[in-house]
Structure 1
Amino acid sequence: MIFAPTVLTPEEERLRLEVREFLAAELPPDFRPGLGLGGRHDPEFSRKLAARGWVGMSIPTEYGGGGRTPVERFVVVEELLAAGAPILAHWVAERQTAPTLLAFGTEEQRRWFLPRIAAGECWFSLGMSEPDAGSDLASVRTAATKVDGGWVLNGTKIWTSGAHLNHFFVVLCRTSPAEDRHHGLSRLIVDLHADGLKVSPIHYLDGSHHFNEVVFENVFVPDDRVLGDVGAGWHQVTSELAYERSGPDRYLSVFGLLTHFVREFGGSLDDAQRAAVGRASAKLWAIRQLSLAVARSLERGGAPAMEAALVKDIGTVYEQEVVEVLRHVAGQEIDPGGPGVFERLLAEAVQTGPAFTLRGGTTEVLRSIAAKGLAR
């Protein structure tokens, strides 16, 4: 397991400044940031980013993308998340679906989906987890049966972020029985408005709606929407997770919480409180360097799945730690309706923070992946 030290080039630093200037111009003075991926689903903002070439950055130009590097994308995403920008409309499609289509999709699928993703016009969710499977994706029960011209899909997916708003999702399902449960799995590109598909909300404790349950009852999926080869689903999904697990979204969910605390209370902290905030800030920088190393590895053609798992584990555990540290340091009752941004973000973090270590794979699963790499 290798995390090669790396720094941003002058060109990459100039890109960072360009993004900051864009955000200063586009986000109004009264903009209320979200917690990392808690930003709003805002198609208009996604289209503005796309017009600057900042959606689908790693998609080759022949498919309508920017042809930029994973590190350049890292820089843009880091700034968007740090600002709590409303990026959810294009997020999964740009981060995860586009690289998967490039790696495994047919030429017809690439030509149809990738230009739409790069334009910020085609939005995806993930169709992996199930009610009885947890993070053990090999135990999925959703099944597709072959019929004339396609497949009939039955089953349930859960924790499907944005399914009530997005257009498609890539569904991991069983297409044939197999003694080895990692075999016989395939992935289908499913229209979220298809007949027989039902989306039901799963609300956070604060009443907000981000997650969903999706039920399939004899949903027809045409043959040309099978992603790659039938039976190759397990290889695809394990390859894809490096993109989901290693990015800035795995440690920046609470960055806005930390910065607004310093802005609102930094001048009145005692030495012990400053030390606690300093430790949290130092740890953030260390995790960022690990994440940047994974992005540089991807840029060089690597497949750092184990490194990505470790970054995700350390990053999301850190996010939950920061919430508790700031609750303690603030030493006050939380008033989500108070005048400061910090109190609102802290209330949101306390209620939604337990989900940080679930999305993208639980801590236990990620540590088992990392341990296998360390044992080699």
Structure 2
Amino acid sequence: MSNLLDAFHLTALPPEAEAFRAQVKDFLKENLPDATADIRARSWLGFDAAFSRRLAQRGWVGLTLPASYGGAGMDAFRRFVLVEELLAAGAPVAAHWVADRQSGPLILKYGTDAQKDFYLSRICAGTAFFCIGMSEPNAGSDLASVRTRVTRCEGGWRLNGRKIWTTNAHHCHYMIALVRSSGVPEDRQKGLSQFIVDLSLPGVNVRPIVDLTGDAHFSEVTFDDVFLADGTLIGNEGGGWEQVTAELAFERSGPERIYSSIVLIDCWAEHLRRHGASDADTVLLGSFATQLATLRSLSVAVTARLARGESPIVEAALVKDIGTEFEQAIPALLEAAIAADPGQEVDAELYRTVAYLSQISPTFSLRGGTREVLRGMIARGLGLR
């Protein structure tokens, strides 16, 4: 048990990272589109390609990627600061989010020189947006049971199958897909590979899925005999499971796993400043602040391990699990707080914001791995199974 618990060391952000924060704040003052809280609450689901390109012009998309590919060559701490400020402000970052967070680092680590030269420069320029091809219909959270398959053909591969709950696929240029390149689903982790799929290819069909909020962030993507040329395989054939596990550490470790409801807290705090706070409101706000401070410290500790070039898979799963539980609790608790005084004046903007997050918050514990899957990983990390 101590091995996992010892991995979390209280870590302060280095001075250069905190100095970088001022630059980010200045950029947001000049470039953040005006929007109400219920729109800003969408943040890393909010798609605005123009905003992402302005961010890229500052060198802040692909922030940790080498300068030789157009990145800023900065460390994981400064990326933490950038992400923290973007989410706190409710910036619409969905366009570049996946490419910056995980697709770019994955290609940098496992890709060929040709893949790095082609894709990383476009990611850093904000002209190549990526989505994640992991989940499949009828597979639930059992990622190892994927049935989407590639088969060898002259000059490349043929791809057939389906992916689902693919965030922003209908806006993206490319998908990094986990597929079966050999064997059968019963082989589990064996025989899985990752491919870069150009979503404009013949045979690719992207169908947006409207969610409870009325938004269409998710998509179902079908592949009907799609030809993938040689050079689209990332890493080694059959090495997909190891690669996707490393990729998920990037997906699960960032501030987005604790800040998805932060705009709502700010909106409610502003409501309390204008209309006054009861003792119960003050206690609840203090509870949010203490939980957020603790989760942030855990997230920074994971970032420190990423900065050292490590892959904190289990630690990231732990932060994601408890972080999303906190994120989901916020709208439920604030609904109760508002309902406790039915005679109080409540701004329509606050109502819309809490309503949106109440509807979308069930997805927080699904995206990036369900709570049950993560707790299984944590139990193994603690030596309990």
**Gap runs ≥5 in structure 2:** none
Separation in 2 of the partners of 1:333 and 1:116? 52
Q: 2:44–2:93: 8 Å Cα contact kept in structure 1?
A: no
Deviation string 1:183-233 (CA, Å, 9 cap, x unpaired) is: 100111001111111111111112111000001110111111111111111
Task: Specify the alignment match of 2:208 in structure 1.
Answer: 201
**Is 1:132 the counterpart of 2:138 in the alignment?**
yes
Question: Which of 112, 115, 118 is the matching residue for 1:109?
Answer: 115
Amino acid corresponding to residue 123 of structure 2 in structure 1: I
Aligned-residue offset at 1:286: 0.6
Partner of 1:192: 199
User: Partner of 1:182 in structure 2?
Assistant: 189
Contact 2:59/2:70, CA 8 A, preserved across alignment: no
Residue identity (%) = 47
Q: Provide the C-alpha distance between the structure 2 equivalents of 1:115 and 1:30, rounded to a whole number of angstroms.
A: 31
Of the candidates 42, 51, 65, which is equivalent to residue 45 of structure 1? 51
- Number of the residue aligned with 1:303: 311
Does structure 1 residue 365 correspond to structure 2 residue 373?
A: yes
2: CA distance between counterparts of 1:134 and 1:306? 21
Task: State the 1:180 CA deviation.
Answer: 3.4
Instruction: Give the aligned residue type for 1:264.
Output: H
1:260 equivalent in alignment to 2:267: yes
Partner of 1:118: 124
Residue in 2 that maps onto 1:23: 28
| 1:214 is aligned to 2:221 | yes
Q: 2:258 aligns with which of 222, 244, 251?
A: 251
Cα displacement (A) at 1:39: 4.5
Q: TM-score, normalised by structure 2?
A: 0.93
* Alignment partners' CA distance in 2, 1:165 and 1:285: 34
CA distance in 2, matches of 1:197, 1:331: 47
Where does structure 1 lack aligned partners over 5 or more consecutive residues?
none
**SS of match in other structure, 2:200:** coil
**AA of the residue aligned to 1:50:** A
Contact 1:37/1:249 (<8 A) preserved? no
More displaced 10-residue stretch of structure 1: 274-283 or 106-115: 274-283
Aligned-partner Cα distance in 2 for 1:340–1:375: 49
What is the SS of the residue equivalent to 2:226? strand
The answer on whether the counterparts of 2:331 and 2:354 sit within 8 Å (CA) in structure 1 is yes
DSSP 3-state at the match of 1:236: helix
Superposed counterparts of 1:313-324, under 5 Å = 313-324=321-332
Query: What's the Cα RMSD here?
Result: 1.7
Shift of 1:10: 2.1
Q: 1:320 to 1:31 in 2, by over 3 A?
A: closer
1:36·1:252 contact (CA, 8 Å) conserved in 2? no
Q: Residue 225 of structure 2: SS of its match in structure 1?
A: strand
Partner of 2:239: 232
TM-score after normalising by structure 1: 0.96
CA deviation digits over 1:132-153, x for unaligned, max 9?
1122110001111110011111
Residue identity matched to 1:150: G
Task: Go from structure 1 to structure 2 and tell me whether the alpha carbon gap of 1:232 and 1:274 turns closer, same or farther (over 3 Å shift).
Answer: same
Q: Which residue of 2 aligns with 1:77?
A: 83
Q: Tell me the residue number matched to 1:8.
A: 13
Q: Aligned equivalents of 2:331 and 2:192: distance in 1?
A: 38
User: For the Cα contact (< 8 Å) 2:174–2:197, is it kept in 1?
Assistant: yes
Shift of 1:31: 5.4
How far apart are the structure 2 equivalents of 1:88 and 1:292?
Answer: 22
Equivalent AA in structure 2 for residue 88 of structure 1: A
Contact 2:107–2:116 (8 Å) recurs in 1: yes
